[in-house]
Structure 1
């Protein structure tokens, strides 16, 4: 079903991970999807990863949508401005904005207090995780609000309820991910008069390219990682949160979620979608009820 045929989406930060999964699922629903990032087949970002925006665009096309790759550094105002001028000129509209810009895994140090953490890396992390989202929204929202029912999805790690009572292992990481949640709420207040919706969304334990490499597995044999980390059985593919975004974008009553902090597992229960393997993982309930209580890995009732 092409529930998003005729719709135009911008997935900012779609080179890999959740951004790629979201772009592909929006394409599978029939959308035209602009995918942005710094790494192309001809130049790489400081990340120095092999994934490219061209690959993402090709996956969108294979899924049934139209993928358009545009190299953008979302800290560079003129590049973001030019991107939106490009979309306006070619499409005349923007229906979905997904702010998934990140690229800072190598910037933070787990369980290192702020006075010992590299200040340069910490401040760079905040630029990549927060400033990029603000800059992109500044230039994208004038086009999005021209049509009613536009949707903004701010991608983060953890829901507001989950993060509220938990320290996320690094001052800079904690600030970044919680700031994005608050940003979505603030945007919801500004967009509501235009009949548009903003919300924050988190995947669960996501099998990104980096995570698969960490466990020396591929998506096809990801369960083998449970030998090293038994709780990895609750993990989900990037396409799972992608299906969450596609479901939100196709929901005529998406405004009911305005300002809320949501998870892929929560929305799977609401909209009925499943992960690529047919399962429906509920990561945050698993984290709370199994991992944090010291129970052994057990998937029954959580997948």
Structure 2
């Protein structure tokens, strides 16, 4: 398939990582379906809408298609995939990035001292990623090709912002591993990976850094751009050895080096292990119980 022909869905792409990934895929001529809840300014405390992201994808050289979707509702998710099926009959890349992130996540205190709504990461994050992948695989198995990506982070393997966040990230990695096992067992050439992103210089993180420079100022100059992971995903989707990586949790900064990808300005972001010696994705056992 030619570069301009790839069809992608990036969930939770009104802003942040999802927006950057969608724009990066647009640079390579992809048609990118941009999902999210924000349709106009004021829908969220942070700037960004699905329409703005879609326009940025088109401006980058692709075709952005905004689709309003609340990933808490399975019927809305189903409608996104039905639209892609109707309009293209195929899907090449799914990026599971939608997550229910609340500002209180970074507040001090134990999990019991924070609002119960933080558990929403288990619904819009873990469960929603499963549901979107289930729909994506219906098309990908039929065409016997495709790439599903979960956006994860090193919080899967160390404490970070509480149990809801940790459970979300660890679940991304394990779902990629298990989904790849099922697909491999069925003899299908559909790859599933989880990617550890570094700290991303998004509007949310900029606000967090500004709110407490003593605590978060060390992140200045150490963040990845939101587009960086999108470039990694594009390289993965074109790797003839992709199936060998299926089921893996990949450290984005490391796999980028393997592909010769740099971030804005030619910068090479630090890997998780460079920032925290000994830190690496969990190794899941090869035993299979069916």
The interval holding the TM-score normalised by the smaller chain is 0.7 to 0.9
Aligned to 2:162: 170
SS at match of 1:201: strand
Query: TM-score, normalised to structure 1's length?
Result: 0.83
Aligned to 2:246: 258
Quick check: 2:196–2:251 contact (8 Å CA) kept in 1? yes
Structure 1 residue corresponding to 2:150, chosen from 139, 149, 154: 154
Residues 1:18 and 2:17 aligned together: yes
Aligned to 2:260: 272
Quick check: 2:111–2:163 contact (8 Å CA) kept in 1? yes
Query: TM-score, normalised to structure 2's length?
Result: 0.87
How far 1:97 sits from its partner (Å)?
0.7
Quick check: 2:34–2:50 contact (8 Å CA) kept in 1? yes
Aligned to 2:283: none
Quick check: 2:15–2:47 contact (8 Å CA) kept in 1? no
Aligned to 1:5: 4
SS at match of 1:156: strand
Structure 2 residue corresponding to 1:288, chosen from 276, 282, 289: 276
Runs of 4+ in 1 over 6 A off after TM superposition: 225-228
Q: Which deviates more, 225-234 or 10-19?
A: 225-234
How many correspondences in the alignment?
276
Structure 2 unaligned regions, length at least 5: 279-290
Root mean square deviation, CA, Å: 2.6
Alignment map for 1:137-216 (pairs within 5 Å): 137-158=133-154, 163=157, 166-192=158-184, 193-216=187-210
How far 1:124 sits from its partner (Å)?
1.9
Quick check: 1:111–1:170 contact (8 Å CA) kept in 2? no
Alignment map for 1:62-101 (pairs within 5 Å): 62-101=59-98
How far 1:194 sits from its partner (Å)?
1.3
Residues 1:55 and 2:52 aligned together: yes
Structure 1 residue corresponding to 2:132, chosen from 133, 136, 146: 136
**Cα separation, 2, equivalents of 1:41 and 1:170:** 31
Residue 92 to residue 148, structure 1, CA distance change in 2 (3 Å): same
Quick check: 2:27–2:61 contact (8 Å CA) kept in 1? yes
